[in-house]
Chains A and B, each alone.
Chain A
Amino acid sequence: MAIFSHLFLCIYLYMRHLKHIIHCYEAVDGSRLQVLNGVNLDIRKGEFAAIVGGSGCGKTTLLNIMSGILMPSQGEVLLDGQPIRQGKHRIGYISQTETLLPWRKVIDNIVLGPELEGIPKKERYERARQLMESGGLSGFENKYPFELSGGMRKRAIILRALAHDPEIIFMDEPFGPLDVFTREALQQEILRIWSQKKLTIVYITHDITEAVSLADRIIVMSRRPSTVQREVPVRLLRPRDVVEIRYEQEFMELEREIGAMIRGIDPEVRRSDE
């Protein structure tokens, strides 16, 4: 009976279900460094979830495990009730590094996902052109990535993920290296796309302001070996303006609460603050 109800949950409510993930890295000297310790996490379909935590708490490791890049030492990850496997699911992954293929023009980068799937050339380029139009990149189809600004390259990476019609998108501090104004514009853009396309997004960041202004739910990681310390729902109204929302009372309280949580968790951070 227990098994039955679990399956039921996986299929109908949960996109992604992590079961007691434990992960260790083998250090150079042969000792084992445990990064994750029994993480248990559900991501709901259509949810915007943010994972926050101090540095070195294994956020990126967790994301790599969830997306199937990394196999956990122990535990499993389910997507729609199926164990996650590379190549079986359509997964969008946007990291803070540049992952456009530099030798391909922008439009040739955006068609990559459909191209891998074998969608006819005309159709995939049509789709890419429409996406570029809506994503504010029209006119740059035949430029090479190096000819674009950092913000535009990030837009192109987002469009490439969208062209693939992903079941879930993972973002690992995607706008980290960009300047403040470009970041704000892209955060607003990602919110627009998320609500328009009804995407499921898991967003990793150490920036609490960013997490609160974007997410439905914030998952706070403990320090290493990490578990999920707390899950905090964000009940701010949508649609949100990522700049304006910061001045609302509820926002500021939430930001302070989560900040205190992380500082309390990470003694190093607390020490440097005092």
Chain B
Amino acid sequence: MTNRQEKWIRRIGPFIVLLIFLALWQYLASSNKINTFFFSSPVDVLMDFIDLFVTGRIWLHLWVTLIEAISGLMIGLGLGVAAAFLFGNFKILSLLFDPIFVAVYGLPKLALGPLFVIWFGLGLKSKIIMSTLLVFFLVFFNAYAGFRDVNIELVNTLKLMGASRLQIVMKVTLPSCVPWIIASLRSGTGAAVGGAIMGEYLGTNRGLGFLVQTAGANYDITRVMSVILVMCILMLILDTVGKLIEKSVLKWRPPVD
């Protein structure tokens, strides 16, 4: 395969695969070979998707989920970096809490859902906390690895130049963690949206998770799928934003390719 061929396949190949899949699905649905009550059809999903936006019904739910996810992402990011920093600087904290953190990290967070609903109610708060929790661990473990990975030679160089402890943190430790934090920010975006939707499944009256939940309860498969399509597009947009941030913040690194 030449380079040029590869480039074209990379660019349009996935769309062709997707189109073939959709065409097959549509054919099976139209010719009644599958039951559209259970499997819907691409055209129905697309029509419902358009309908959601034309009638404007989606906006409230989209907005609510976005607010929850972004709040969770920001709070989780802040707490994760702060905790990693404290753990990295005060050994006693890491000795006391490392095993606890690992245990909680391994726990399926959904299991905590009922507690959050009881403690924080059915409003935004419980969703934001669920989302924060998911993001926190991702960021924490990444940033902690980053703090421990700081190049000791760079630290020594600055020490010899007479840098204070604070200067070393500001000029070496934190900047060298940035790639780790950015990496966790990108995977954290997925976790944040996931956490928000997970929280909505537990009970609420707005949000994308709520839409899927109610549609599912009513056997409205078309609606379930069109809202999932909205989620996919939302993730795609957030991921693109993340990529752009990564590119502009990490331009000091040699390109990987």
Residues of A within 8 A of B (CB): 67-69, 86-93, 95, 97, 99, 101-105, 112-113, 116-117, 144-146, 164
Q: For residue B157, which residue of chain A has the nearest CB?
A: A99
Q: A97 — which chain B residues lie within 8 A by C-beta?
A: 153
Interface of B (DSSP majority class) = helix
Residues of chain A contacted by B167 (CB below 8 angstroms): 116
Q: Please, how many angstroms separate the alpha-carbon atoms of A89 and B162 in the complex? A: 7
Interface size in chain B (residues, C-beta < 8 A): 21
Query: How distant is the Cα of A201 from the Cα of B253 in the complex, in angstroms?
Result: 33
Best-buried of A67, A69, A101, A104 by chain B (most CB within 10 Å): A101
Residues of B within 8 A of A (CB): 153-154, 156-164, 167, 171-172, 175-176, 178, 251-254
In the assembled complex, the CB of B161 is this many whole angstroms from the nearest CB of chain A, namely: 5
Residues A87 and B156 in contact, CB atoms below 8 Å apart: no
Docked-complex contact B175 and A69, CB < 8 angstroms:
no
Question: Of B159, B162, B171, B251, which one neighbours A144 at CB under 8 angstroms?
Answer: B251
Please measure, in the bound complex, the distance between the C-alpha atom of A186 and the C-alpha atom of B160, giving whole angstroms: 23
CB distance from A65 to the nearest CB of B (A): 13
Task: Taking A99-B157, A103-B176, A164-B161 as given, write out 19 further A-B residue pairs in contact, using a Cβ cutoff of 8 Å, ordered by the A residue number.
Answer: A67-B160, A69-B156, A86-B160, A86-B162, A87-B162, A91-B160, A93-B160, A95-B153, A101-B171, A103-B178, A103-B252, A105-B252, A112-B161, A113-B162, A116-B161, A116-B167, A144-B252, A146-B253, A146-B254
Write the nearest CB–CB distance from A122 to chain B, whole angstroms. Answer: 20
- The answer to whether B175 and A101 have CB atoms under 8 Å apart is yes
Chain A residues with CB below 8 A from B164, complex form: 87
Q: Are B162 and A117 in contact (CB under 8 A)?
A: yes
Residue of B nearest to A97 (CB): B153
Q: How far is the CA of A268 from the CA of B174 in the complex (A)?
A: 45
- Distance between B249 CB and nearest chain A CB, rounded to angstroms: 9
**B175 to A87, Cβ gap below 8 A?**
no
